[in-house]
Structure 1
């Protein structure tokens, strides 16, 4: 296809160039010929005026038309200027002629009529004693109220030679301009289509599933926007593809681990490897793994619904502080077991916002569960609620090891676990914070994390006080 486009552009530009040069050349040729002919006609007029003055001078000297003297004058002029001269009476009969041709000659009525008011000139084929193209110049003169006509025949082969030379120059110029123009168009077209070739190759690689290719920056505005868009598209698809592969790998791993444990323990109970007195203990482990699988599937379904946009939140006006306290009470036993102190709730004001109660409670649940998992034993949980004119802000901070800058950048990714949490968190599936971030998107809110390594980790969620209808 590119070759076809390339050929079409090249041939079109070349044809336009040749046509333009040819048209310009023809116009110049016609204009130059006309100007040269005009200059020649002006010269004919000057010559005719000289002869006319001589004839009038001879007539005035003798008060009659001296045929013999006039014959001599015209013959002399013919020899010196290489022109034929004829003098006709008002009837068109030749009175005097400069040549010795015995052929009778007369001036037609049409020529006499054409020269009645102003000199008449016609450039055409050979005439008179000339074998080449000639110019016939006729001028009317009056002597004592008697009309005469002076006709001059000029050889004008030089006009044809001038046209031929000019035409030759035009053809050579046209060939040179066409060759140079075609070369320039060829190189320019190749340069213009080079980015399109690169874009096509990149698109072919994308179609094959290879998103590693990136297009170079182009200075051309239109193609530059196209390449930028292609690169952004490739980045987006490549990121999604890597995310999909990582997601499949992580899901496979998360499913394989509990399934292996369940299968091993069940097989051990069935074949008697596990003694009867220990079977209850291992059945509890199997139950725990089944519950973890259930949470994993449930979380995956929620994320899928969030990403597909099929979940429609049910907004209602809720006391955010009361909802936070209610959620925290669900972890009362775990808080007591780790000897944690809870701070900040006693000064939290009642703050109302329009939210989906179930979703926001899941956010509080996930963040609180996460905080209790990684708080140091005997540490502190700090909770706070504040608001401004537009949003309510909920802070949940726990003391402990904290997160590094690298870990903060990935903490909301699916199945992401820090190196430390992989050893300490054996019940989680790595989807809690990912779900939190998606619920915040549904509420047009945000979730941010602050942390100082070795001191604390704090999550801050911000939700609009009022929700507005969003167009699909």
Structure 2
């Protein structure tokens, strides 16, 4: 078939098609509703005008009759002449009743409403006050006639009931013409709605089309090379959508660049110990060695393997954290006790370099809800960095304090410090201020990244202040229990 079922389904799934059809339907329903409303208003107004016209004419006729000294025949003759002489858009018929409800005279073809007259006779005021009643009656041709009945007294004191009626043929035709015109306009309205809806939706949805195009470019390219969507500056929702998309695209670019850099750095860092191991093995294989030389080579290999294992474990640690697989084992942890044990553990390393390692606090206990092993990893990375970059005869001070709804742990050292322009980068993976020295000391630039990730997992905050050749202060804030 020319238009397959699948194509039809996709066609009606299009936002543009649905908007155009919705716009057209709303336009059609709106105009139809307005047309129906105005036709009813016109009809109601025409009925009101007809009744006012009949009331005015019947009052004029009664005023004349009350001044005439005529019998029933004379009144009938007068009414016949009077109604024929009425000029207007309505053809008026009449009927004259006596006080018994009997018809004395009526115009040709007039269909009277006897029931209204009978009701008026029952309620007529004996003092002579006029009584008036409005009614409707359906003609044999299914049209509606509007009637006004009025009582009056003749010069002789007799009570009569005069009924005027009219069917607004011309007015009804005007309403019908209005309705037919509205129906004939439906195809035009549909055409205008479809064309204008297509133009408007094309204009409004063009940013979305560009967004789809940019998304496809991202999927088809090896890098996030798609250009930012232009901002029209109108300030509407589509501008907001373009801004949000550009922000997401910018984040993707940054993440992509970080992945490239991370892959390059990881490959480089892994290659170094492997190259060292390979070199040691090749040297051993060149000629025979004594036991001490073999021992020395194997110790070097083990050292490089330890370095490689440690780095791989840290990469896996970061990977689990990024993927959300690494869950926290939240328990009640007392910070003072935890840091006291860590200070004792690292005191052996600090004594080798004659570094003073001190822990102080104004209170004896500081409780947090945290993962105990992760806090150990966090503080180990910071303390090890402080020991690594603090020269001999220096000092490392750990302080704990309470501040409102958090505990603040500061770890300060008198080490080599960090230049101001480098301080914003030290939590990035594989970033090292002094790359050569870090390799010598076994660092791969992952410790502070892990520390920052752990702090973030605990909804805390980590900051650094440092001056070259004066030292650094790492401040860690953790929510209180």
Asked if the contact 2:24/2:197 (under 8 Å) is kept, the reply is: no
Distance in 2 (CA, whole Å) between partners of 1:193 and 1:10 is 14
Aligned length: 432
Query: For 1:12-161, what aligned pairs fall within 5 Å after superposition?
Result: 12-54=25-67, 57-59=68-70, 71=77, 77=82, 80-81=85-86, 91-92=102-103, 94=105, 113=118, 116=121, 118=132, 143=154, 144=156, 159-161=168-170
Following superposition, the deviation at residue 407 of structure 1 comes to 1.7
Q: Secondary structure at the match of 1:393?
A: strand
Match of 2:424 in 1: 409
Match of 2:413 in 1: 397
Asked if the contact 1:29/1:167 (under 8 Å) is kept, the reply is: no
Deviation string for 1:186-207 (max 9, x for gaps)?
7776677667666766776777
Distance in 1 (CA, whole Å) between partners of 2:111 and 2:260 is 107
Distance in 1 (CA, whole Å) between partners of 2:196 and 2:283 is 82
Deviation string for 1:221-272 (max 9, x for gaps)?
8x898878767766666655544443333222221232233234424543x2
Q: Indicate whether 1:430 and 2:445 are aligned.
A: yes
Distance in 1 (CA, whole Å) between partners of 2:371 and 2:93 is 115
User: CA 1:313 to 1:459, structure 2 compared with 1: closer, same or farther past 3 Å?
Assistant: farther
Asked if the contact 1:320/1:351 (under 8 Å) is kept, the reply is: no
User: CA 1:444 to 1:146, structure 2 compared with 1: closer, same or farther past 3 Å?
Assistant: closer
- Unpaired runs of 5+ in structure 1? 98-102, 336-340
Following superposition, the deviation at residue 424 of structure 1 comes to 5.7
Following superposition, the deviation at residue 293 of structure 1 comes to 0.9
User: CA 1:36 to 1:184, structure 2 compared with 1: closer, same or farther past 3 Å?
Assistant: farther
Which entry has the higher C-alpha Rg, 1 or 2? Answer: 1
Distance in 2 (CA, whole Å) between partners of 1:306 and 1:84 is 96
Deviation string for 1:36-89 (max 9, x for gaps)?
1122212321342144235xx233xxxx6685x985x66764664467778677
Match of 1:421 in 2: 435
Distance in 2 (CA, whole Å) between partners of 1:388 and 1:18 is 73
Q: Indicate whether 1:252 and 2:267 are aligned.
A: yes
- Unpaired runs of 5+ in structure 2? 1-12, 125-131
Following superposition, the deviation at residue 21 of structure 1 comes to 0.7
User: CA 1:422 to 1:115, structure 2 compared with 1: closer, same or farther past 3 Å?
Assistant: same
Distance in 2 (CA, whole Å) between partners of 1:108 and 1:353 is 100
Following superposition, the deviation at residue 356 of structure 1 comes to 7.4
Q: Secondary structure at the match of 2:41?
A: helix
- Bigger drift between 240-249 and 114-123 goes to 114-123
Distance in 1 (CA, whole Å) between partners of 2:111 and 2:445 is 119
Match of 1:11 in 2: 24
Asked if the contact 1:205/1:213 (under 8 Å) is kept, the reply is: no
Match of 1:386 in 2: 399
Q: Indicate whether 1:318 and 2:334 are aligned.
A: no
User: CA 1:39 to 1:449, structure 2 compared with 1: closer, same or farther past 3 Å?
Assistant: same
Asked if the contact 2:382/2:411 (under 8 Å) is kept, the reply is: no
Distance in 1 (CA, whole Å) between partners of 2:318 and 2:109 is 115
Q: Secondary structure at the match of 2:445?
A: coil
Q: 1:309 aligns with which of 326, 331, 345?
A: 326
Distance in 1 (CA, whole Å) between partners of 2:148 and 2:460 is 99
Distance in 1 (CA, whole Å) between partners of 2:330 and 2:63 is 110
Following superposition, the deviation at residue 160 of structure 1 comes to 3.1
Asked if the contact 2:72/2:104 (under 8 Å) is kept, the reply is: no
- Bigger drift between 118-127 and 381-390 goes to 118-127
Deviation string for 1:79-138 (max 9, x for gaps)?
6446777867775465x98xxxxx9999896686477564677687799xxxx9998776
Following superposition, the deviation at residue 9 of structure 1 comes to 2.9
TM-score, with length taken from structure 1: 0.67
Following superposition, the deviation at residue 411 of structure 1 comes to 0.5
- Bigger drift between 256-265 and 106-115 goes to 106-115
Query: For 1:355-374, what aligned pairs fall within 5 Å after superposition?
Result: 363=378, 365-374=380-389
Deviation string for 1:407-450 (max 9, x for gaps)?
211111221123x4246634322212223334445666544322
Following superposition, the deviation at residue 458 of structure 1 comes to 0.7
Asked if the contact 2:43/2:172 (under 8 Å) is kept, the reply is: no
Q: Indicate whether 1:329 and 2:368 are aligned.
A: no
CA RMSD of aligned residues (A): 5.3
Asked if the contact 1:450/1:459 (under 8 Å) is kept, the reply is: yes
Q: Secondary structure at the match of 1:416?
A: coil
User: CA 1:9 to 1:88, structure 2 compared with 1: closer, same or farther past 3 Å?
Assistant: closer
